[in-house]
Structure 1
């Protein structure tokens, strides 16, 4: 029904106004000013110059019985410039800073207000990553994007981290929980039961910019394995290339799109090249990528104008991707196309309205109390050792034989002290539950290949040698059952073996909560033993992993003896 409405409005706008809208507008929500007239008598005359001239004059004549008729003449430059911007993988400001968003906002608002040819896209993985965004499930960023004037938001893999329903509420017409003033795009996220798309999303958005129709397709890449299986149960991600091809054709043939942009939350060189090879009504004019956190600003050569593609790495040197297109109204082709990325040095002052939004959420007393809770300092400054530490905490706190985590769970290391709950959320931003099952020693032996490849990290008692799983140097008994626990992100994957076990149970424990409990109790122990000439955990932080391991093991032995 939504797509039919978009089509009807777009067709009406094309027939009645011949694209003579000076400002950017989304066709799905724009009503023609002539559609309410009681008379259906109108005629439109469009005059285009030859290819040797530099301007195009379009004269629209509408017969109105009440006024006797009106004549409107609009003159465009022959060549129309478009500035397209994309923000990808912002992660709540984890790799830059939430304050940076205010500077980006000031820049983008200026572009929107000073030009009539700017589009702004969020290309996935925008919310999850910091205490500021996680605590409110992304609502501050929704409010900021509304203020800036974003035109579309593409669903990425980390939009599933809290359950996709948490994102859907921003398009449920309930102002109390926040509402996005832009569409969510997810052309290829489909139901396994009926092949229908997420009901709060659209496959694309259509804009009339100075008479040129621009369509933006939003697609998630082949990244379903980057999401906890329970979060995407009942969905599949359709082929990126086929989806873009299908909707590029629909945009050009049903909406008369002059320009088609694909915003893909993934970078795959082969996919980009395949899309660049599309021609005719399937042609795509630009690609924004995401997910891989790479700085990219390049073109793919082909017949006619090249296809530009861009992605920001989302650090201070690469915060925003930009693609510039120049469209020739006479020949109806792209004449110029190039990509670039913008760094923090490209932005000057911050935006007062965005600052107000940030301040409103960041000063909420409950939030302030949450993030400012002081914890003991983490025992390692190396992410691999932190993973082994976390797996050991699963083993000890859940009271099982072995603990496991994924190798990439720890993200942004703290830069100073004291270490707070806000730092912990940024260090481990995922809401992963612990699940347990019972595996035989033979099944544990089969897990050695994922442990040795560092895909899965086991607790500090585990080692593997020639496919033999050992605890404290002793081989497990092939026929004996052992209770194992892991974060659900890896537990639910079929290739790791946890699901082959007996008595599968989801516990009430969240990984980050266990880490917080450990660090709270460690802080109390630090206070109680410092008078006995021991040192707090912060004293154990070193760039030398061996020193870290020895000191932390000594400390853990003390801690275990009193709990």
Structure 2
């Protein structure tokens, strides 16, 4: 369906300006000839091709969503709101933290072409590289960057084996009129979670960023920012382990920073970190799907340090009027696939959300994993050569499904389930595979997921999992300890009986080609015999919804924390301050701020 934009006045999230900040801003304004600078930084990240507005689950808005005000973002609204945020500001920069495309039918149809046109239309000043820009290989990424009218920056990619890409991405960009330089960087796990190919590699962002800070300072640049696609906690770590960086505008972790009362809350906006020199480095991010636009006013003094700031993320609600010209463009592009996109496959009895998908079993994860397993178990193939009577043959029994939570990109609302929604849930075009796997390898992989790292390779596991036909427990109080992390792993057999997994037995596992190639480091990347390839993951989900007709969300505790309530509370009490920090914060930062992020808000 086409989105009907509400044309009511824009409502902004109120900003709180302290007396101290107000005085500093006024002083700065009066001292602009003395090397001070007022700058408004407007930013987005992880829009994931949501050119149309989307609901809170990240899928296209229904008529009910629009009527109830549960409809956010959209390129045409972004353009209106960004113009309003820039109005009256002498100096502003519009930045994007990566992952602008991949995730909806717009990407499936246009492979980033229309996303580049939208970014040019809105008037972005700079963007960095997201991991999903690489999902279809470097050639698609290169085409996207070549179509952009703004610079692309990323400092921690080694392009030495691919000089053509090196022409499109630079480590930093200097806005000469502002005396501001911005360095880009990306998660070094990109090779494990996407498909950049063998001609590029990813280095330590802390080392790379410091290298270019030093270079810029040597050349007289005092005001230095970073544009990141590395996640909230790693951004804070980089801020703490570098010197000379004023502000990090982030992405990748889909972190909402802002109002602590918002259930999405992960930290203050901005989060203030002391760097190696004891100076402030600010960290900001603006959730995902274009639901919020970050808006931060900063004041640089004559030495190039940020001495005052004020801002908050602005939610892009129904009340934001769509820019008519851009809305017309988006509708025109959408017309090419509108009828197919709105094909109704079945009905959801209630909403399937993503709550918990990255730390336990969840509604959306159960649906995807169960659908994949049931599809393979019930798949009927065409007659083979050895079938003399022409009767259909059934694929061999499949025991379990394991799929990465990071590959589940949206939820499903209550009501009709459409083709567009399913492709938004599973947009990557991954193939569903069936492979034989020994029990011990399964146990090792499950243990690695809970521990966060593989013992055999030392590689970080970059996604949680969702499962079907399998259940296991783990003790959350032992997550960072050595040894085994999973307990009582069981597989449901053909007779629907739960049996303890045998390390020496071979099981039939349904997964995706992404994981089989070593994606997210959940499985070892091995040459395997006996692999059966099925359809694409989105096609499998489509067929299962059509077959079942009505899908019902449920949780059954297939992944459960078996730690006692007392032990969990004790562990939480012992780590009361540390747990306020996102995972990955350096220990010296926790000592510096013993009250965690709460202290930064005081």
Q: Same fold (TM over 0.5)?
A: yes
Give the number of the structure whose alpha-carbon radius of gyration is greater. 1
Structure 2 partner of 1:82: 39
Deviation at 1:233, TM superposition (A): 4.5
SS in 2 for 1:384: helix
| 1-structure distance, mates of 2:223, 2:373 | 54
* Contact persistence 1:106–1:349 (CA under 8 A): yes
Say whether residues 1:541 and 2:552 are aligned partners: yes
SS in 2 for 1:91: coil
Q: 1:249 aligns with which of 195, 206, 214?
A: 214
SS in 2 for 1:92: coil
Q: 2:239 aligns with which of 271, 275, 291?
A: 275
Say whether residues 1:357 and 2:357 are aligned partners: no
| 2-structure distance, mates of 1:468, 1:287 | 45
Say whether residues 1:336 and 2:308 are aligned partners: yes
Q: CA RMSD in A?
A: 3.8
Change (3 A) 1:194 1:245: same
Structure 2 partner of 1:100: 74
SS in 1 for 2:150: coil
| 2-structure distance, mates of 1:117, 1:277 | 29
Structure 1 partner of 2:17: none
SS in 2 for 1:169: helix
Say whether residues 1:410 and 2:419 are aligned partners: no
Q: 2:153 aligns with which of 169, 174, 185?
A: 185
Deviation at 1:338, TM superposition (A): 4.5
Deviation at 1:347, TM superposition (A): 7.5
| 2-structure distance, mates of 1:325, 1:295 | 20
Which structure 1 segments of 5+ residues have no match?
Answer: 1-50, 57-75, 173-178, 523-536, 547-563
SS in 2 for 1:434: strand
Change (3 A) 1:543 1:390: closer
Change (3 A) 1:145 1:502: closer
Structure 1 partner of 2:266: none
Say whether residues 1:326 and 2:324 are aligned partners: no
Structure 1 partner of 2:344: 374
* Contact persistence 2:423–2:538 (CA under 8 A): yes
SS in 2 for 1:119: strand
* Contact persistence 1:390–1:405 (CA under 8 A): no
TM (norm. structure 2) is 0.64
Q: 2:273 aligns with which of 296, 300, 305?
A: 300
Q: 2:423 aligns with which of 401, 421, 425?
A: 425
Change (3 A) 1:270 1:350: closer
Change (3 A) 1:214 1:404: same
Change (3 A) 1:501 1:377: farther
Deviation at 1:323, TM superposition (A): 3.0
Deviation at 1:99, TM superposition (A): 5.1
Q: 1:485 aligns with which of 494, 510, 514?
A: 510
* Contact persistence 2:348–2:414 (CA under 8 A): no
Structure 2 partner of 1:145: 119
| 2-structure distance, mates of 1:269, 1:440 | 36
Structure 1 partner of 2:168: 200
* Contact persistence 2:472–2:488 (CA under 8 A): no
| 2-structure distance, mates of 1:467, 1:323 | 48
* Contact persistence 1:127–1:134 (CA under 8 A): no
* Contact persistence 1:387–1:406 (CA under 8 A): no
* Contact persistence 1:218–1:263 (CA under 8 A): yes
Change (3 A) 1:252 1:394: farther
Say whether residues 1:392 and 2:373 are aligned partners: yes
Deviation at 1:440, TM superposition (A): 3.6
Deviation at 1:239, TM superposition (A): 0.9
Q: Deviations over 1:13-41 (max 9, x none)?
A: xxxxxxxxxxxxxxxxxxxxxxxxxxxxx
Q: 2:533 aligns with which of 478, 491, 507?
A: 507
Structure 1 partner of 2:251: 290
Structure 2 partner of 1:40: none
| 1-structure distance, mates of 2:328, 2:28 | 51
Change (3 A) 1:253 1:424: same
* Contact persistence 1:387–1:407 (CA under 8 A): no
| 2-structure distance, mates of 1:99, 1:346 | 8
| 2-structure distance, mates of 1:544, 1:272 | 34
| 1-structure distance, mates of 2:173, 2:516 | 37
Q: Deviations over 1:127-178 (max 9, x none)?
A: 1222234432233322121111101111112222233322211244xxxxxx
| 1-structure distance, mates of 2:136, 2:439 | 34
Structure 1 partner of 2:574: none
| 1-structure distance, mates of 2:241, 2:501 | 55
| 2-structure distance, mates of 1:410, 1:240 | 27
Change (3 A) 1:235 1:433: farther
Which structure 2 segments of 5+ residues have no match?
Answer: 1-26, 59-70, 258-268, 353-362, 382-394, 452-462, 474-486, 558-602
| 2-structure distance, mates of 1:448, 1:305 | 42
Deviation at 1:90, TM superposition (A): 1.5
| 1-structure distance, mates of 2:227, 2:29 | 34
Count of paired positions:
445
Deviation at 1:205, TM superposition (A): 1.6
Deviation at 1:427, TM superposition (A): 2.3
| 2-structure distance, mates of 1:136, 1:521 | 30
Structure 2 partner of 1:530: none
